[in-house]
């Protein structure tokens, strides 16, 4: 290991403050646009642009520093710890939504139908309401969209499960190729992974269109629609981000970045991809299947 005093402490940087301005413009603008403010919408778009610019600049600088050998193994370890715990924080974010799903299925829906000591809740509020899952008919149907059906697990979602699991394998193949110094294997594996990711997203989009146009299954379809679209939606967003990250890694691989023993950028994206993979398995089992 290199001497500890070689630990790279960067000079001052404008990227973080730019990121903060972008974030404030994006989120503040979004909040304003929810209340029909044109300025808000403009600010939102501007903020999004600033964030994209910031990400390109900041990550570009990091890649540059990495390629010029600025980072020693100790810095590399900081990055690993950082990425690992960032993914854990993402796990906890999804946990909140999985928690909401379990709460609705196990507690609130049965209670609304009068289970346990809640007999009078059911009797007084919505006496007709029956506790079933998937919850097609919500207690009060006037304000919500009643779906005609739900997405069946063993159709598109099963194909998507297969797609994502395969993409995990192709990514691991790319990783092994990198460690064997087989550049074409690395690039091929990455391309395959990206294609599988795009197929997944395409199928997911198709499924959403199907749900909205034919099944009337919408975000507004009571707690079933809420949990279904929020969980799969946030997952889809993460797959999108993961695919973009994989494309960056692919371009770096084509330019000859990454060595067989030093390739944190690749590994970080691989960890992230496996994380979205595992979340999907959870989704497939408890959202679609059971």
Query: How far is it, in rounded angstroms, from Cα 84 to Cα 78?
Result: 10
As measured in angstroms, the least distance from the Cβ of 282 to other proteins is 15
Output 167 or 226, the one with its CB closest to other proteins: 226
CB of 14 to other proteins, least distance (A): 6
Let me know: does 217 contact 151? Beta carbons within 8 Å.
Answer: yes
Among residues 158 and 208, whose Cβ is nearest to other proteins? 208
Residues 84, 271: contact at Cβ < 8 Å? yes
- Pick 33 or 172: Cβ nearer other proteins: 33
Residues 80, 86, 92, 97: what is their CA dihedral angle, to the nearest 10 degrees?
Answer: -130
Least Cβ distance, residue 221 to other proteins (angstroms): 8
Q: CB of residue 262 vs other proteins: minimum separation in angstroms?
A: 17
Q: How far is the CB of 199 from other proteins (least distance, A)?
A: 28
Residue 265 near residue 249, CB atoms below 8 Å:
yes
CB of 81 to other proteins, least distance (A): 4
Residue 145 region by backbone torsions, left for phi larger than 0, else alpha for psi between -120 and 50, else beta: beta
- Nearest distance in Å: CB 26, other proteins: 9
For residue 129, the SS3 value is coil
In our burial notation (b when 16+ CB lie closer than 10 A, e otherwise), range 202-225 reads ebbeebbeebeeebbbbeebbbbb
CB of residue 19 to other proteins, shortest distance in Å: 6
Handedness of CA 288, 243, 55, 205 (dihedral sign): negative
Burial (CB count within 10 angstroms: exposed 0-12, middle 13-18, buried 19+), residue 54: buried
Extract the tokens encoding 134.
């998937």
Dihedral class, residue 45 (left if φ above 0, else alpha if ψ from -120 to 50, else beta): alpha
Nearer to other proteins, 117 or 184 (CB): 117
Closest CB to other proteins among residues 15, 200: 15
| For other proteins, the closer CB: 112 or 250 | 112
User: Please, which residue, 104 or 186, has the CB nearer to other proteins?
Assistant: 104
CA distance 23 to 254: 32
**DSSP secondary structure string, 87-104?**
HHHHHHHHHHHHHHHHHI
Angstrom distance (rounded) from CA 70 to CA 178:
22
When the beta carbons of 93 and 206 are compared against other proteins, the nearer one is 93
């Amino acid at each position: 290991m290199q001497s500890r005093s070689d630990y790279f402490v960067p000079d001052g940087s404008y990227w973080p403050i730019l990121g903060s301005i972008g974030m404030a413009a994006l989120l503040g603008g979004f909040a304003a646009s929810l209340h029909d403010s044109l300025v808000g919408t403009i600010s939102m778009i501007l903020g999004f642009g600033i964030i994209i610019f910031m990400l390109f600049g900041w990550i570009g600088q990091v890649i540059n520093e990495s390629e010029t050998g600025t980072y020693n193994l100790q810095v590399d370890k900081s990055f690993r710890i950082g990425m690992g715990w960032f993914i854990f924080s993402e796990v906890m974010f999804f946990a909140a939504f999985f928690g909401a799903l379990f709460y609705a299925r196990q507690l609130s829906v049965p209670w609304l139908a009068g289970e346990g000591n809640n007999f009078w809740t059911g009797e007084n509020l919505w006496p007709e309401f029956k506790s079933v899952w998937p919850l097609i008919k919500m207690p009060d149907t006037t304000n919500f969209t009643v779906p005609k059906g739900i997405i069946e697990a063993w159709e598109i979602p099963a194909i998507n499960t297969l797609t994502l699991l395969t993409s995990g394998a192709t990514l691991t193949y790319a990783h092994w190729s990198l460690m064997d110094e087989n550049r074409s294997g690395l690039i091929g594996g990455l391309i395959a992974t990206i294609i599988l990711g795009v197929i997944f997203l395409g199928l997911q989009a198709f499924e959403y269109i199907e749900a909205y146009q034919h099944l009337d299954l919408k975000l507004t379809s009571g707690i079933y629609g809420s949990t279904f679209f929020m969980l799969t939606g946030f997952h889809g967003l993460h797959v999108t981000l993961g695919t973009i990250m994989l494309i960056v890694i692919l371009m770096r691989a084509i330019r000859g970045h990454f060595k067989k023993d030093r390739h944190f950028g690749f590994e970080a994206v691989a960890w992230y991809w496996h994380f979205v993979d595992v979340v999907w398995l959870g989704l497939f089992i408890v959202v679609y299947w059971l």
